[in-house]
Structure 1
Amino acid sequence: MNCWTSNTTTSYMSVTCHYITDFKLRSNLLDCFVVAESHTSQNLAQELSRVAKEWGIQDKIAACVTDNASNIVKAVNDILKWNHVRCFAHLLNLTVRSSVHQTEIQALILKVKSIAEYVRRSTVASAKLREMQLQMGQVQLRMKQDVATRWNSTYFMMQRAIEIKEPLVSTMALLNPLLPALTPEEWDITKEVCDILKPFEEVTVEMSSERFVTGSKAILMARGLQRIVAHRQRNPSTHEPVKGMVNFLAADLEKRFGQIERVRVLAEATLLDPRFKKHAFVIERNAEETVSRVVGAATHAATPTLPSTEEEEEEEEEGGTTVNPPSEPVPQFWADFEERVTTLRPGVQNPSTGAMLEIKGFLAEPLIPRKADPLEWWRVRALVYQNICTVMKTRLCIVATSVPSERVFSKTGQIITDRRNRLSPSKVRELVFLNANL
């Protein structure tokens, strides 16, 4: 879920759901409505509870993914008591933005931004830049400008400046020599910063999908970024600002993702993904604890609900066979053998043993290719691993980010425009719902 304020200063909340049916990941918008009251934890919790009750899913929620705002975190964790997952993309955004806000790096970004603003604002500068690109035999590319709410827009702006460095420098020298120019060292630093941020952008894109399984990738992606940054630390830059940025990234990644293997629903999703299983875990103990929890959940799912006394009596009256006749006493010399093999016979296997055998068989199978569809793998083996397959459907449906809700607001912004600013909230709600779900 996510919140957004329109250009009419009306505050909206969107709630999306993600689930597995026929071994395909599906997404739907449940509601996009006005939050008239203040955004307190209690009010947000009431709205989320209302949506869940309207759709009859209050007992089917595996996890709720939101941003890092304290009010929504408290609403989900403390009031609703749902499993809460912090948006992976939002955490990455906080990490990267903090790292580039260091004094020297930020000063460099402001220089690039001032150049981008000048070129985009001036038709003469834009035309001259295109002319210089043609003269140098380069593809005509426009400057990009960053957006305060998206860290990757800063990365794209700096990356574009690197791509058109020569024609850009020539254009600025001819048209506006008074505008602060980047020194050769600053160009080198800009390139290094882009190289460092590139994996963060790639991970953000990978984790923002709603058509593919993403929750099971969170641990792997976090550990991957930590290893990349650690490699940068072992091979430090010659530029002090870059060194400081890398050290900050390492510390902040550890702060925000150091305990990600302890986030239960993400750990269980990772274990049940046939591409990763226990191999995505760095700490063996976390992997083993996750196996135990999955076995427990599968056992619970496999345990049949015993009929009540009234139900038993009704079945007996209807000729049912719920009540078994008393078994014959076992001779003493067979007692030891019978005790040891009882759980191995089909039909008398207890749920706990069945779940344990399934998880052992699942973990023993080879990993499938990274680009393979884990849900297709489960579709083929659903009958082999029936109990843990039930658990899988409540774990691999978890998305890693709240980006799907944010995409709803992109559509909402196209509906509520300056020329359509008198649409009532109820009409907006209906239009957005149809747009998202049809």
Structure 2
Amino acid sequence: MTSYLLDCFNFSDRHTAAHLARELTRVTDEWGLGDKIVACVSDNASNIVSAVRDHLHWDHISCFAHMLNLIVKAALKEVQHIVQKVKTIVEYFHRSTVASEKLGATQKQMGQEPLRLKQDVATRWNSTYYMLKRFTEVKDPIISTLALINPSLPTLLPEEWEISREILEIIKPFEEVTTEVSAEKFVTVSKVILMTRGLQRIVARFQRNPSKFDPVKKLVDSLMSEMTKRFGRVEHNEKLADATCLDPRFKNQAFVSHQAAEDTVKRVTAAAAAINPVQHEEEDTSESAASASAGAMFWEDFDERVASLRPSAASSKTSDSMMEMRAYLAEPLLPRTSDPLAWWKRCSPVYKTLSEVMKARLCIVATSVPSERIFSKTGQIISERRNRLSPSKVRELVFLNANMP
């Protein structure tokens, strides 16, 4: 898996679907990629979705990390009063040098390693997770420091500390999935269906063993409701399903729905048949010539009778692809930690047409995080001390930074 930045430029026009589609077309045409786009992964902003689907007619896949962000942020509203208290206290320690130094000294007195509190970022739910996690890790030093300094801050009640710990336990799997699926050098798209079902099972377990705290119960119910709404038909997303089936670690065993698994196998087989080169048996040209000269009339009756028994090119391609698919599904599953691309590289001579379909599926990334990382780098290049850089110069610097080894 490799990842390249094609362009990152100043965009001064209104961000309409038509304008975005025009610029995307310009970039892909410049690189000669117009006919090689297999999918476009982005967040669910209506303008970019419309540009991709309605104007460019590309297959659009919603960023999995963005979907998880929306789900968890919606659920965290059920415990917003606690999150807001924690955020207020963290902001106080970040603003006050005296309080921050006192907290560090208190941690040392209690035999703990001095750890700075973390602030959350509005656009990233997992930053809220990291904030709560660090906050609970230094619970005792925080309580002691606040008691000594005595600022007019809303403090957490004993019950709220317990709720915070339960919140962390519930949303930790979402953080782990977000981290794993945000990779860009490993296959990720084939994990989306499995990860979604795994998260749903974990949340269902918390529902079967409910917390004694109402806010936590509401958090869990909200997580399940949001996941059902956004991922209810995830197994029927063709690109995600095809990629999962073509990952030798998962194949059709990843599906809960038998119908979805069956439909996926048929679709991948048909895609393989569509690219399967026609295999013609070499004819003995000398014999054909001899037959023609000996009198084709002799063979007319036989040829007419057996014509319907010979497979057509289309049926031959389909049967070959079906045989490949059956053999592929019969192979033992790879260990989950194996590299599926290494397996395909080794086995592509055996599964010639399936491997071609695989290339157009496992290359897809599950998230738009690689693009977000580019914007983060751009923010580091453009700073207060470098605010006179021209847009063209920034474009060149970002391009080199992203693509040079």
The TM-score normalised by the length of structure 1 is 0.85
Equivalent residue, structure 2, for 1:193:
167
CA distance in 2, matches of 1:73, 1:183: 44
Q: Does 1:363 align with 2:363?
A: no
Equivalent residue, structure 1, for 2:232:
258
Residues 116-141 of structure 1 deviation map (CA, whole Å, 9 limit, x = unaligned): 11112212211221222122211211
Q: Does 1:69 align with 2:35?
A: no
Shift of 1:415: 1.3
- Secondary structure at the aligned position of 2:9 is classed as strand
Equivalent residue, structure 1, for 2:341:
375
The TM-score normalised by the length of structure 2 is 0.92
- Secondary structure at the aligned position of 1:29 is classed as coil
CA distance in 2, matches of 1:158, 1:191: 8
Between 1:393-402 and 1:132-141, the stretch displaced more is 132-141
Q: Does 1:244 align with 2:210?
A: no
Residues 79-158 of structure 1 mapped to structure 2, 5 A cutoff: 79-102=55-78, 105-158=79-132
Gaps spanning 5+ residues in structure 1: where?
A: 1-24, 307-320
CA distance in 1, matches of 2:308, 2:326: 24
Amino acid at match of 1:46: R
The change in CA–CA distance for 1:177 and 1:121 in structure 2 (over 3 A counts) is closer
Q: Does 1:437 align with 2:403?
A: yes
Q: Does 1:36 align with 2:2?
A: no
Q: Does 1:233 align with 2:199?
A: no
- Secondary structure at the aligned position of 1:179 is classed as coil
Gaps spanning 5+ residues in structure 2: where?
A: none
- Secondary structure at the aligned position of 2:3 is classed as strand
Q: Does 1:220 align with 2:194?
A: yes
Q: Does 1:50 align with 2:26?
A: yes
Residues 187-225 of structure 1 deviation map (CA, whole Å, 9 limit, x = unaligned): 010000111110000000011000100011111111111
Higher relative helix content: 2
CA distance in 1, matches of 2:128, 2:223: 16
Give percent identity, aligned residues only.
57
- Secondary structure at the aligned position of 2:38 is classed as coil
Shift of 1:74: 0.7
CA distance in 2, matches of 1:387, 1:371: 25
The runs of at least 4 consecutive aligned structure 1 residues that moved more than 4 Å come to: 324-333, 335-338
Query: What root-mean-square deviation, in Å, do the aligned CA atoms of Structure 1 and Structure 2 show?
Result: 2.5
The change in CA–CA distance for 1:178 and 1:426 in structure 2 (over 3 A counts) is closer
CA distance in 1, matches of 2:383, 2:337: 40
CA distance in 1, matches of 2:300, 2:216: 77
CA distance in 2, matches of 1:205, 1:137: 31
Residues 78-127 of structure 1 deviation map (CA, whole Å, 9 limit, x = unaligned): 1111010000011111111111113xx10101111111111122122112
The change in CA–CA distance for 1:219 and 1:348 in structure 2 (over 3 A counts) is closer
CA distance in 1, matches of 2:314, 2:248: 29
Equivalent residue, structure 2, for 1:395:
361
Amino acid at match of 1:427: K
Amino acid at match of 1:36: S
Residues 387-426 of structure 1 mapped to structure 2, 5 A cutoff: 387-426=353-392
CA distance in 2, matches of 1:222, 1:250: 11
Amino acid at match of 1:91: M
Equivalent residue, structure 2, for 1:302:
276
How many residues in Structure 1 have an aligned counterpart in Structure 2? Answer: 392
Amino acid at match of 1:394: A
